[in-house]
Amino acid sequence: MKIVSWNVNGLAACKRKGFLRVLANSKADFFCCQEIKTRCPLSTPGYLQFWNPAKHPGIERFLFLGLTDVFCAWYPQADRPYIWWSMRLNKRLENRGQLGYFLVSDALLPAVRRITHHMDILASDHRPISPTRCLATFRKELPDKE
């Protein structure tokens, strides 16, 4: 199963820069967008849409729930890739930006096979993140019939 999470910083502007091509090429089972800045559903054949305008006061509340960041768990010694850079002051050239997090429960973490930061997708000032997991880990074993 592949999940893509992307802060598009305005769906209309991102759509003009190739959002639908990225969506189609992602082959994602779930494609989650943040900061869409729109109320009109985007009609995309083959996809269901859910809208939630809620804002969260901080990531700390999720960490208190016992959720773990996938990248930190799988690559504890690696430098974290940034997924957003300010358009001002050449922050991208300095590689000083904002980190991206994908939080999962401890029970789900072993099923995650990899996490990808899509640095080649430039349709927004943010880059998508996509963890991939194996569904077989969560399939319930049925008892043998006698």
**What CATH number is associated with residue 123?**
3.60.10.10
* Inside any domain, residue 61: yes
73 pLDDT exceeds 50? yes
pLDDT at 140: 47
Q: How many domains, the chain?
A: 1
Q: Do 116 and 130 touch, CB atoms closer than 8 A?
A: yes
* Inside any domain, residue 77: yes
Mean predicted confidence (pLDDT) in 103-122: 84
* Inside any domain, residue 143: no
By residue range, what is the domain housing residue 25? 3-134
Residue with more model confidence, 101 or 145: 101
* Inside any domain, residue 139: no
pLDDT at 50: 65
Q: Do 4 and 130 touch, CB atoms closer than 8 A?
A: yes
* Inside any domain, residue 114: yes
Q: How far, in Å, CA of 70 to CA of 67, rounded?
A: 9
* Inside any domain, residue 12: yes
pLDDT at 137: 44
* Inside any domain, residue 56: yes
Nearest of 111, 115, 89 to residue 102 by alpha carbon: 115
Any residues with CB less than 8 A from the CB of 146 and at least 6 apart, and which? Answer: none
Q: Do 102 and 70 touch, CB atoms closer than 8 A?
A: yes
Residue with more model confidence, 37 or 77: 77
Q: How confident is the model at residue 53 (pLDDT cuts 50, 70, 90)?
A: low
* Inside any domain, residue 74: yes
Q: How far, in Å, CA of 118 to CA of 81, rounded?
A: 10
